[in-house]
Structure 1
Amino acid sequence: MFINMSGNAKDIALKDEKIYMKTFLQNANDIQEVCNLAKQTIEQNDSIKDYIKLRQKGEELSSSEKINFYKKELSALETMTTINPYIYQVRLFVNADITEKKPSFYKISRLSNMDWADTYKYSPWQIDYLDKVFPDSVNKNSHLIGLVSQIKDDNGRLLAILEISTPLENMFSGYFDENNSELCCFVDNNGGIYSSDKNKKIFDKNRKKLFEFTYKLKNKSVFATFNNQSCIVSVSDLPSMNGCFVHIKGIKDTVDSFYMSQIPYLYVMLISTAIFIIIVFFMIRNIFRRFNILTSEVAQIENGENIKLTESGNDEISELGKQINKMVVSLDELNRENTQKQLLVKNAEIKSLQNQINAHFMYNVLETIKMMAEIKSEFEISDAITSLGQMFRYSMKWTSGMVELSEEIHYIQNYLNLLNLRFDYEIYLSLNIPDKYMKLRIPKMSLQPLVENSVYHGIENMAEDTYIYIKAFEENNVVNIEVSDAGAGMSEEKLQELRERINAADGVDESKEHGRALYNVSKRLKMYFGAEYGLQIFSKEGVYTKVLIKIPLDKENQ
């Protein structure tokens, strides 16, 4: 629990840090926006540009014009500084011979006093510098960050250098804090590190780790290790300033403070646990006393004694005794039922053995009759008996219900051989089944009823030579087996009625012969392979009838 609570404290610290960085980023963007707006305002001031151009040409202005310029234009620069809390100073370093006016209008020669005099051309933002316009009166505690730009005329000639500065602490909150648990710095894209003198040593020592953070953690806050301490590291990308701000906050004090705050709770938990253990001890002792009594009674039942367990009370022990009593009664009933089932199984085995003996006896009799027919050269009778014997053996074959497709086809051939003995016409069997499907396993007697239906409902009334077609083909890993005839067919109404009988959920009416065999075949297919399989029937009156069954080509069938 304390580990989870400690994790929650860390999560809260991380959440606070994200809020801090979001606030920082919003503040930094606001300052940049104010400075950029001031920059645009001054760059678009034609009065200032025109005045500088006149001074560059050496033209003199009247005293009233000078006074008007200084009062209006330069006062506007000073007002911009006064009314905006973000701006420390707005200054123009003019590339002309002018009369300087503090604090915003200076000759460009003053530029050499500034720390950024040689770098402002490479980056618009100058970071952490002192106000050295007048070297004799430098405030060493006044660190600035400034937006510096060049103001040029239409011909590209330099008119002035514009500096809009703000206190560094305004932009980078906590930059000069002496708190050892928090560090911050600005890292530019060229590898420069800007921080307070105290923190600079730490950042220089861990320079590689710092650059790794700035590379991987753009606008993110994560837990990490820095300077051998656990901390939260946050990086805010400042693309307009060509760098990023890094804030590192140690979490040791946060975690230690959390643990100290949890000590009273720990004492309360320990005392509560001790009281709980004492109460549980007496409760368990009472429960085990009754449980031992129950165990003793169960042992007596195990030794064969016919006793009833104690059921007094309404607690779990009493309920256990009641359930054991019910279980003992149920076991007695199950033992009696099991004895009866074993007796039935034995009787079934005896009957199965008798059926097997009877089947072999009948098959042997047919073989004897066949031999007698062949001795008398009655070969047609012999062939008929052979077909009948093979059909008889197939029907009596001990199987779980699944046979190979080749066995079912062979049975149908024998069936038609015997059937043709009755008719004055021939029914031929046309097969279009690739050899690879002959080993396909299908439910026994699933095709023969389809052939039988073709004969009795489609062919018999026509009384002429005809064909029954059996075709097999594969679609989407499913083998389709099609049994069709060119018989009488049926009307659309009868076809729809037959389909409803085949797909009836409550079975086929036993009083109606038509459709019963197809219903049984469909039901068996669904039972073996699933509800999406089964049987489909198509017909056109006077033309054909076609029955289609689907067999999944699973691993066993492949």
Structure 2
Amino acid sequence: MAFAVNRWLMGIRTFTLKLSLQVKLILSFVFIIFIPVILFSWYTLNEESAKAMKELSENNKNVLKVEKINIENNVELMGWTGQLALSNREMNNYLQIEQMQDAARVLHIKSDVVNSFQYFLFNNPRIANVRLFTDNSFVNEIWPVILQEARIQDKPWHHAVMAQNGLPWWEIQEDVGLTGVPSEQTADEPFMTYLQEFRYPDNRVHNGILEISMKLSDFFSQTFSSVQDTNSQLIVVARSGQAYSLKDSPVFKKHSAEELMNSLELTSNTDYEKVQFKVNGESYLAFQSYIPSIDIHLVNMASLAETNKSINHSRVRYIVLISLLVVFLILLSYLMQSKILSRLRALRESMQQVRSGNFNIELPPIAVTDEVGELSFHYQQLILKINELIQEQATRQAAGKEAELRALKNQIDSHFLYNTLENVKMLAEIEGQYHISDIMTSLGGMMRYSIDWKRDHVMLSDEIQQVQHFVSIMNTRFDGRLDLRMSIAPECFKQESLKMSLQPIVENAIKHGMSRMHSSDGNLAIRIDAERLDHTCVIKITDSGCGIADEKLELLNQMLRMEESAYQEARQLFARKDHQDSNGIGLRNVDQRVVMSYGAEYGIRIESQEGSYTCIIMTLPYRVMGGEVDSND
């Protein structure tokens, strides 16, 4: 997974590197503006969606609440009607007779008791009917109030009412027609019926069942009202699972109430419960509540089609606005950056001309002092500097040609000098002046070594040979009082050394050693030691001169690495004290050459003991001329 992500990121990086600077700037500009706009739009759209869902939820919850209040009122009305019916004394006396009544008594009951009973109970138009079913065989039926219980004994709810022991039972009936009454007219809609068993005064013997009916559209007035929100619809679910609602509601346009209820799990919560679900891709929001007093579930079913459509319209509107904004930003960025990058393009074209070798280019005058203007200014200065350097190089080449001619002339002169020295040497040998012949040999070797300067680095053995020639010549001056001794480790003969780095040190030793001679025989011993220590080569040049005082020795070591101004002051101090040129200028030059070639950790230092010796220690990195590498490295 990580490898795939890295590969994807590398692909994006490779693609972006191929884009032009202007495209990158436009993309970055749009990207910086686009992300906040997207986040703001996403937040606003979510807020609008949440607000729409909240408003829909509140409206549907209020509708359900209003319907529950209506139901409670109707339950109270039908319960109050039932209490009035069962508390009528004359009606109870008639239902509890223990012998057959004559026709006059029955007519009296009908005209006085039943008609008054009907008038009193039916003063509320929502009550469809009130019927008393009795099992007293002495009671004559008085239609439509007093009927024999045998007419309802085949009803599915009869047994449930008897099991209530006098408590009310609520039942939704599709048909309230009675058995054995073919001519009775039945309604086209179901009824909500209030059923209650009544007994004889001793409250132990069953007397009959009271039935109070109300049309379902009156009992659930909000459910069957056509004046309501077209996106929601109340549904009444009986204990049998049968759903009752306004069938032509727009909510049931695609799915019937039964289909929707089959997709919804009914709750036992007497409060409000919200459930969102889908049926064949259609979204619905259901608010439901259980009413235990009448054992029904009341559900307010809302279709989310219009709400989702409104949210989708808002989403499309935001997408269009964002797209227009992106196009506007791209055009604005393109126009702004074209003006800025036009000067960069001019710089690029001039650079291409310079790359092709044309340095005589003319750049437009700089009128803007921004970063691009500053870059143009520095580029112009760079071109001017390049042209100056070209002219200087041409001058150098001309001077180099002249120097070559002078070098050729000097080479001719040096050959003449070498030939003359060889002739003198041959004459000395012929005359038997072998000492002069040896001096000519040493002098010729020194001249060839010093004049033939083709490179700055030589082997240590070459430097030692040069020192030997030098000491040999100087012995002529000092009558052989110079004694040169050497101890060179074999691995140091090919050590890389700076040309003419040892002779100035030996010359300095002879100069100061012979001027302050303290030995009894008047001889000066000079010893050269070279050895390898780890990754360095240490060369020591020791003379048996009079040495250096401690305070002077410390100052001399400091002078080797002093700044130029401080060095000149110290040099003047030595000149005033010693009245001679004993300022270590030769040693300082050698040390500076070593530092410039190998670094500050290398160079020379002076060790001395007054009245005994002076030792110059040169430290070089161990390097073998010719590129050879020691096996220990």
Q: How high is the TM-score relative to the length of structure 1?
A: 0.47
Q: How high is the TM-score relative to the length of structure 2?
A: 0.42
